[in-house]
Amino acid sequence: MDTTTIYRNLMAVGLLGTVYRTADDAELINDVIESTLAEPLQFRVCRAVVSGMAGIGDVARGSLSAHVEAHPEDEAARLALAISLILAGDAEGKRAVEGLLVTTTDTAVRETAHNMLELIQREPALLN
């Protein structure tokens, strides 16, 4: 088995562990993986979204917050963080999406943000 396959398997185990709420083991695996990646942003986005899906807002926030604070111009990362928070039921995510809609000129970010707000309107229980 090559190292790429091993990394992918570890990532899958860590992210699935997050979804199935085996938090301690998943956190350890995810932290180790993230610390070994030269460019961890894509993994952080995946980790944040999966954490949001699992209702773990703190992990979703922690996974991307430092990057977003250091790179506020990275609207895609800001949107991923906001969506993760929405999935975790955190109303701060909705406010962040609304803020992006006001400021962004990126068509893909605008469209996704708009779609998320429509989803929240149809499914208000997302933020409960």
Give the tens place of pLDDT for each residue, 87-122: 899 999 999 999 999 999 999 999 999 999 999 999
The answer to whether 65 touches 81, Cβ cutoff 8 Å, is yes
Distance CA 89, CA 105 (A): 27
Using CA atoms, how far residue 83 sits from 4, 25, 53, 87, 119, in Å, is 28, 24, 10, 6, 11
Pure H helices in the chain: 3-19, 23-36, 41-53, 57-70, 75-87, 91-103, 107-122
> What is the rounded (10 degree) CA torsion for 82, 87, 90, 94?
50
Q: Taking the model in full, what pTM does it have?
A: 0.83
55 — alpha (psi -120 to 50), left (phi > 0) or beta? Answer: left
pLDDT at site 60:
80
Question: Which pLDDT band, with edges at 50, 70 and 90, does 125 fall under?
Answer: confident
Cβ proximity of 15 and 30 under 8 Å: yes
